[in-house]
Structure 1
Amino acid sequence: MSTGKIQFAEQQGTFVLKFVGEVRLTLCSALDATIEKIFGARNFSSIVIDLTETSSIDSTTLGLLAKLSILSRQKVGLLPALVTTNPDITRLLESMGFDQVFNILGTPLPCPECLSDLPPQDVSEEQVKAKVLEAHRILMGLNEHNREAFRDLVTALERH
């Protein structure tokens, strides 16, 4: 069981996602559903992802964040803001090339009380596998380092 959670808020077209604790695969279905909700909103103007309370984040979640950035650029022509104050998380993001697809900031956000937890999603093993595969393909598309790092995993997932 994951010890993390993802919180969400929306104010006047700005969508905020806050990741708390260990954010792993178990939260990805809820995250992906929220990404779809964000880009379906008529009043969408910006996205902020707050990682200031994130202790760890897995590659599937990183892939979904990359998807969010790609969609943001396509829909409104803006890079989302990503807030991190943890040097380990910042280093991980930079190693994955996230400094190319996000505006990385070091200042925590106001209004944590505005956020509410994302509801859990009931999904099949096949749906989870499809999300993992999609997320890693997106990460591979960010840079050569990621392409090498995730090639074997993607190949294995595609075989099964």
Structure 2
Amino acid sequence: MEDRFLYSEADDTIFIKIEGNATMKNSKTLSDLLAKIFKGEKKNLVFEMSACNYLDSTFLGLIAKCALEIKKTWNSTLYIMNASNMVLSGLKQTGIDKFVEKIEDSSLQLKTSELENQDFSDRKEKTLHILEMHKTLMELNEKNKETFQNVVNMIEKDLNK
């Protein structure tokens, strides 16, 4: 299965279907879209994840950032739809599950368009993005602070070279 994001908008809800592996390699695509979404009118935001095979910590950080931003900007909730056990496990292990609402709906049929993959302009932009996502995870709870502190230290050391 190809790694990609499919986009659909219906009434006041934006659906983003995440297919394949959701990693630092493709997180900029979604990060850029979310930045545009948060500049607009209040929307319900749903990540449909039935076809998501894998999430890395950078992408989990992006989900956390999105959930926190929705709360702050619109006093709303990020919805995670049809998540597999693997996705649910990642959300639970990082504490993100406390900041999102999980829903199930296998009957939903959407007309979607594929988001064009966006790449980082350079290594520094990519490194700063990864750093931000891991710091976001660390802000969620003490366990994440312990888990990701070494990663953040390593990234910051790399940036200061």
TM-score, with normalisation over the residues of structure 1? 0.91
After the TM superposition, list the runs of 4 or more consecutive aligned residues in structure 1 that deviate by more than 6 angstroms.
none
Instruction: Please give the alpha-carbon distance, in whole angstroms, between the structure 1 residues aligned to 2:52 and 2:107.
Output: 14
Cα distance in 2 for residues equivalent to 1:83 and 1:32: 19
Number of residue equivalences: 157
1:68 aligns with 2:55: no
**1:28–1:61 CA contact under 8 A, matched in 2:** yes
The Cα shift of 1:83 comes to 1.4
* Matched letter for residue 115 of structure 2: L
Structure 2: runs of 5 or more not aligned: none
Task: Report what 1:41 is aligned to.
Answer: 40
Matching residue of 1:104: 102
Q: Does 1:125 align with 2:123?
A: yes
Percent of aligned pairs with the same residue?
A: 24
Deviation readout 1:18-57 (Å, 9 max, x if unpaired) = 1101111111111110110110112x22110111111101
- Other structure's SS at 2:102 match: strand
| Kept after mapping to 1: 8 A contact 2:60/2:90 | no
* C-alpha distance 81-159 of structure 1, shift in aligned 2 (>3 A): same
What 5-or-longer segments of structure 1 have no aligned partner? none
Task: Tell me what 2:134 maps to.
Answer: 136
Tell me the TM-score normalized by structure 2: 0.90
Q: State the alpha-carbon separation in 2 of the partners of residues 132 and 11 from structure 1.
A: 31
Aligned-partner Cα distance in 2 for 1:159–1:13: 43
* Alignment correspondent of 1:88: 86
Counterpart of 2:75? Answer: 77
Calculate the aligned-residue CA RMSD, in Å.
1.6
